[in-house]
Amino acid sequence: MKSLYITSVDRYSGKTALCLAFGKRLIENGYKVGYLKPLSLQPWRVAGEIADEDAAFVKQALGLAVAPADLSPVVVTSELLRDHLTGAGAGDLMPRVCAAAETAGADQDILLLEGGGSLREGYVMGLPTPQVAAELGSQVLVVVKCRDDVLLMDDVLAARFRLSDSMCGVIINRVPADAMEFVEEVARPYFEKQGIAIFGVLPEVRGLAALTVEELLEVLDAQVLTETKTTEALIENLTIGAMTAEAALSRMRKQRNKAVITGGDRTDIQLAALETSTTCLVLTGNLQPSPLIIKQADQMGVPVLMVPENTMEAIESIDRIFGKTRLGQTAKLEQFQALLTEHVDLRRLYECLGL
C-alpha cells in the first residue's frame, strides 16, 4: 500500500480541501482510497464520540465505511494533553497511529494522510509530521499558501529543510492575481532548479474561504436584530469600523461581500457600510443601534447582528475560523476539484507516487 501525507506550512492553506479533492479524483480513476488524520487539534463530538471537526464530511465525501471517530486516532483535548504531560496517559502515541494507519489502509491502493494545521504541530504529543511520515513510510505533499513573495520562498524552503527527502513536492495555493506573474515566472523555475517539484499553482478564489452568515452566527452566538435573516450569504472580507466615517467609506468601497465589525453606537460607520457591498453588520458591546440603521438594513437585505463582546473579542472569535475552506458545503469541494483539474499536473503527481 502506498501512502501520501498532505500537510501545510501554515493554517488555512487548503490542505483538507486538497486532500479530499485528490482523494475523489483517485476514486474516479479506479483506485481504492483510505483516509486518516493521525493527529487532530479540532475535537468535535459526533454520535457521542470525540472525532475530528471535519470527520463526518470526510466520511461522506470519500464514501468511507468507517465511523467518523476512527478517522483520527489522536484527537487532542485539554484532558488528553494534561494526561500526556503529567504521565497519566498512554505514553507513546505512535503505536496507536501506526495501528490506525494499518487498519485504514487495509485493502486500499493508497492511504491519504492529512497533517495538522501546520508543520509546527504535533511535537508536544510526540507526533510531528516528519516523524509520523517517516514511521509510516509516506511521501509528503506540502500545500503552501501564497502570503507574499518572501514568505512563499521561505515557506517552501523551510518545508524541504524539515521534511528532507520525504517531501515529494509542493502545491502553491491561493495565489492572488497580482502575485501570479512572480510565482510562475520567478518562484516556480527557482524551486524546480533546486530540485523541488511544483505540481501546481492554484489561483486565489475568494469564495472558497468565505464564511456564511450562519457560520458567523454560530461562532459569535449573536442576536439578529433585523427581519432579514439571510444566513447563506457569503462573507469574503472582514472590515473593522474603528476609524472616521470618511476613512471607513474609502476602505469599504474597495471590499466586496464583507462583514463590517463596529460598535453598536457607531451610526456613522454603520451608514457608511450600508452604502457599499456589505453582507452583514456585526455590532459589538451589546449596544442597540439606531432604528434608522435597522430600517435601512432591512430594506437592503443586510442582516444586523449584535454581540455582547467588544470589537477586539469579536474579531478574535471570527479570526479562529475565517480563511478556512468550510467543507460542509459540497459546492466548495466541487469548485476546488475543478481547480485541481485545471492547475495541477496530476500525471506527474501520480508518477511520483508510483501510480
CATH of the domain at 43: 3.40.50.300
Do 165 and 70 sit in the same domain of this protein?
Answer: yes
Residues contacting 335, CB < 8 A, separation 6+ = 205, 207, 208
Is the pTM here over 0.85, yes or no?
no
Residue 278 exposed, middle or buried by CB count within 10 Å (0-12, 13-18, 19+):
buried
Rounded CA gap, 56 and 22, in Å? 18
Domain that holds residue 252: 209-319
Provide the pLDDT for residue 243: 67
Provide the pLDDT for residue 187: 97
What does the pLDDT look like over 82-113, one tens digit per residue?
999 998 887 899 999 999 999 999 999 999 99
Give the containing element (helix H, strand E) for 293: helix 291-300
Do 46 and 121 sit in the same domain of this protein?
Answer: yes
Do 149 and 213 sit in the same domain of this protein?
Answer: no
Please check whether residue 24 is in contact with residue 63, taking contact to mean a CB–CB distance below 8 angstroms: no
Residue type, 90: A
Please give the DSSP secondary-structure letter assigned to residue 253. Answer: T
Do 284 and 144 sit in the same domain of this protein?
Answer: no
Do 135 and 195 sit in the same domain of this protein?
Answer: yes
Rounded CA gap, 82 and 84, in Å? 5
Cell of 237: 472580507
Parts of the chain with a pLDDT under 50: none
Do 123 and 257 sit in the same domain of this protein?
Answer: no
Do 79 and 93 sit in the same domain of this protein?
Answer: yes
Count of structural domains within the chain: 2
Provide the pLDDT for residue 136: 94
Do 166 and 40 sit in the same domain of this protein?
Answer: yes
Residue matched to cell numbers 527527502 = 165
Residue type, 174: R
CATH number of the domain at 294, please.
3.40.1390.20
